[in-house]
Structure 1
Amino acid sequence: MNPWIAVGMLAVVAIAIIGAMMGISRLLRPDVPEQSKRTTYESGEVPTGNTHVRFNIQYYMVALLFLVFDIETVLIFPWTSIYRDIAGTEGLLWALGPMVLFIGILIVALAWAWRNGALGWVRNPRYERRMSRHE
């Protein structure tokens, strides 16, 4: 028997279960149409102002850099736990080489982000004026 038949059957069963659950929930749930259900909901507060708010790109850059270095930490911890076993039996260069390459690539990425200003915070002009008055 072809193993892909089992995979296909598993996919069919998964789709059938999802469809059955959605159908049953549609039949059993109460349907009470109200205008308040269709309004925008923001943490229990009535939204005010325009919905198109511009966020500083710096927040996204910091989030992306955090993810990159968070993944680095997740990958380095397991490597350090098995490093003792590998280094003694098959040589230091074989065990250390891939991690040095990995960390080197991350250092180059960090230097690039730093050079392009991704790590520098943009100051608020009001804060700058207030600080210049106090000097």
Structure 2
Amino acid sequence: MSTWIAVGALALVGVLIPLGMMAVSALLRPSVPELSKSSIYESGEVPTGTTRIRFNIQYYMVALLFLVFDIETLLIFPWTVIYSDAVERVGLLHALGPMLVFIAVLVVALIWAWRSGVVEWVKTPDADKRSRLQ
């Protein structure tokens, strides 16, 4: 029963400290009302233009490729740490096979991305000719 009292006390402290900090902040902060502060832009500047801006899709594609290959690194690192123990326990084929399949799938994905022009920032006239010929 005493462990639940400790958990309850910790939860109470976890709620009271942020609420107390917000209350003290609300009491001590200066209040300077301005029209531009109540606008919907985060820096207090008066927004100009529309909110519809067209971004190049290449930014998103490069970000997605970065995430895929970054996660690949995160998955390969623990495997390399236990690789020698895994070879001793299950053998070379069972330890190396799944990781080679994983890397092969990612290499195929990279080749596809490269051939479809995802990693090219600027399209050259030669690339346009090649895409028409294919």
TM-score class, shorter: 0.5 to 0.7
Shift of 1:49: 2.6
Alignment of 1:1-20 (within 5 A): none
| Count of aligned pairs | 123
Structure 1 segments of 4+ aligned residues over 4 angstroms from their partners:
33-37
Q: What SS is found at the alignment partner of 1:46? A: coil
CA spacing shift, 1:112–1:71, aligned 2, 3 Å:
same
Percent identical: 70
Q: Does 1:48 align with 2:44?
A: no
Shift of 1:37: 4.8
What 5-or-longer segments of structure 1 have no aligned partner?
A: 1-32, 124-135
Specify the alignment match of 1:62 in structure 2: 62
Q: Can you list the C-alpha shifts for 1:60-103, whole angstroms capped at 9, x where unaligned? A: 00000001001101100111111111012221110000100000
Whole-angstrom CA distance in 1 between matches of 2:96 and 2:43: 49
Which of structures 1 and 2 has the larger relative contact order (alpha carbons within 8 angstroms, sep 6+)? 1
CA spacing shift, 1:91–1:111, aligned 2, 3 Å:
same
RMSD: 3.9
Shift of 1:50: 2.4
